[in-house]
Amino acid sequence: MQPDFYQHFQPGEHLFKQGEIGDSAYIIEKGRIEIYIEKAEKNITIATLAEGELLGEMAIIDESPRNASAVALEPTDVIVIPLQHMQQKIEYSDPTVRFILKVIMMRYRDIYARLMHVLEGVVPNASSYQAVSETTSDKIKNIMQQYLEMQDRILTAVNTAVPLNDNNLDQTDLSKTKRLLSIEKNLQRALTEEQFVNYYQPIVDLRSGQICGCEALVRWQHPQQGLLTPEYFIPHCENSGMIIDLGYLITRQTCEFQQTVADRFNPDFFASINLSIKQFDDETLIPRLIDIVDEHASAPARIKFEITESLLMGNPEQAHTALNELKQHGVKLVIDDFGTGYSSLSYLHRFPFDFMKIDQSFVNTMLHNKKSKTIVKSLVDLGHNLGMQLIAEGIESQYEEQLIKDYQVELGQGYFYGTPLTAEQFQKLLK
Ligand code: C2E
Ligand code: CA
Ligand code: CA
């Protein structure tokens, strides 16, 4: 049997384009690849794939046209599996092949779900979004129907395959793929089984000392591992594109919580929601967020979206349009973790932020580090001079609170006032 071979792609270089006839599948050795579809003359990212992941697997079945394009995001090495090799391999049906076939089926389901999501996400009553034409959506639905039929064919193939040479399974090549897939699978299950829950951390008005709002911080209630913080799963959600669905869930939960607290305790109560850069790959993001806010929050002005600098850097034009649309709808915008990234002052006046959030790394080192104090003071002045209000994050002691108050910061957040709490605990605290 002929061996597969390696190929290198430069950033921006295509592995294949939508509509081309597929002749190979690929496993990513190193680097990152974006998969996108062209719809209504726009490119919509459906996934970003990283090391160990498989793509272009359509070619394993037959030479049908590519239904999406694949482009390298960074210098990327791939193992190329040509169609003929695959057909031979299927004939001999070793465990590797069976494994890959299983991957394909999962992937098809996944693509199908995401495409459907994009289609259903077309919000007819949102003026800012141009609906996909009916013929385009019919076409996509057709493609997806073919996928489903193909799935059945593969399933039959896998079920009838006989393991010939189990020893041939290349563990190193495939273990990474398996690991990534199992993480993605678990995340997908977590999403459908609603294992993600929002915790809410109090935000205090420093003048009155009263809780005036909260930041939503998502947690994964893992059935075996217990409560997991975002660092363990948000990166995977971003890489797999799942952050898009999760983001809507978080937004809806938060808006509902905001409305409840506003009704029961304080009509001015606000809630702040973190947005990830990957969510902006979804063209329907802004109209859908607006719809969720309209439907579930007490008023758009009581919802803040927190955005980091990296998000602005990635695609300033796109970010500019999106943020302005949100802002026009009345929600508030926060520049998060300001000063920790590749800060560029030019962002601050170009983008319509209402609040600047000072990162905890500055705030909770003020006691021992004079430079941190200077940085905090300078950030506060900068924010105020640009017409923004300030939020200081990571206040853990009275000393820090006092300094922050001396600097005329409006809002404070940190363990000194409260850790992130469940919706129930938060309401108890308010009582
Ligand atoms: P972040 O936006 O900077 O959130 C603040 C983090 O600081 C939270 O960690 C919070 O629990 C922690 N924190 C709050 N007060 C204190 C304090 O006084 N001292 C210390 N040492 N830490 C404090 P968490 O919940 O682990 O979240 C980590 C990051 O994950 C967040 O950083 C945010 O970037 C991301 N994240 C959290 N929830 C979401 C979400 O719903 N969507 C997205 N896209 N990202 C989220
Ligand atoms: Ca935040
Ligand atoms: Ca932070």
Q: Spell out which residues have Cβ within 5 A of ligand 3, the ion.
A: 337, 359
The predicted pLDDT at position 130 comes to 44
Ligand closest to CA 311: 1
pLDDT value for 154: 55
| Of 81 and 358, the one with more pLDDT | 358
Regarding predicted confidence, which is higher, 346 or 191? 191
| pLDDT confidence of residue 163 | 41
- pLDDT of 162 above 60: no
pLDDT recorded at residue 43: 80
For ligand 1, atom 7, name the residue with the nearest CA: 394
**Residue 370 is encoded by which pair of tokens?**
């004079």
238 pLDDT band, cuts 50/70/90, is confident
CA–centroid distance, residue 336 to ligand 3 (Å) = 7
Per-residue pLDDT band for 133 (boundaries 50, 70, 90) equals low
Q: Residue 167 above 50 pLDDT?
A: no
Model pTM score: 0.68
**pLDDT band per the 50, 70, 90 thresholds, residue 287:** very high
Summarised one tens digit per residue, pLDDT across range 68-81 is: 899 999 999 998 98
> To which H or E segment does residue 406 belong?
helix 398-406
Mutate to test the pocket of ligand 1, among 215, 217, 357 (most ligand atoms within 8 A of CB): 217
Average confidence (pLDDT) over 103-112: 64
Task: Please write the tens of the pLDDT for every residue from 318-336.
Answer: 888 999 999 999 999 999 9
Q: What is the mean pLDDT of residues 218-237?
A: 91
For position 113, what pLDDT does the model report? 59
- Out of 196, 237, 246, 274, give the residue to mutate to test ligand 1, the one with the largest number of ligand atoms within 8 Å of its CB: 274
Read out DSSP for 134-179?
HHHHHHHHHHHHHHHHHHHHHHHHHHH-----GGG--HHHHHHHHH
Q: Is the pLDDT of residue 180 over 80?
A: no
Over 50: is that where the pLDDT of 122 sits?
no
pLDDT above 60: residue 83: yes
Confidence of residue 187 (pLDDT cuts 50, 70, 90): confident
Q: Is the pLDDT of residue 304 over 80?
A: yes
Atom 8 (ligand 1) nearest CA: 217
pLDDT of residue 137: 58
Q: How far apart are CA 56 and CA 79, in angstroms?
A: 12
Query: Do 308 and 329 meet the contact criterion of CB atoms below 8 Å apart?
Result: no
* Digit-coded pLDDT (tens) for 249-285: 999 999 999 999 999 999 999 999 999 988 988 888 9
Mean pLDDT, to the nearest integer, of 383-392?
95
pLDDT at 413: 98
Mean pLDDT (the chain) is 82
What secondary structure does DSSP assign to 67-126, as a single string?
Answer: SSEEEESSSEEEEEEEHHHHHHHHHHT-HHHHHHHHHHHHHHHHHHHHHHHHHHT--TT-
pLDDT surpassing 60 at residue 82 = yes
Read off φ and ψ for residue 85, nearest 5 degrees. Answer: -60, -45
Pocket of ligand 1 (CB under 6 A): 201, 216-218, 229-230, 234, 250, 274, 276, 336-337, 360, 364, 393-396, 413-415, 420
* 3-class secondary-structure state, position 180: helix
> Could you tell me the domains of the chain?
5-169 (2.60.120.10), 195-430 (3.20.20.450)
351: left (phi over 0), alpha (psi -120 to 50) or beta: beta
Name the least confident of 54-58, 96-100, 108-112, 212-216: 108-112
**Phi, psi at 46, each rounded to 5°:** -105, -20
Banded model confidence at residue 345, pLDDT cuts 50, 70, 90? confident
Cα–ligand 3 centroid distance for 358 (angstroms):
7
Question: Which residues, by Cβ under 5 Å, contact ligand 2, an ion?
Answer: 274, 306, 336
Give the residue whose CA is nearest to atom 26 of ligand 1: 229
pLDDT the model gives residue 314 = 74
Say what the pLDDT of residue 224 is. Answer: 85
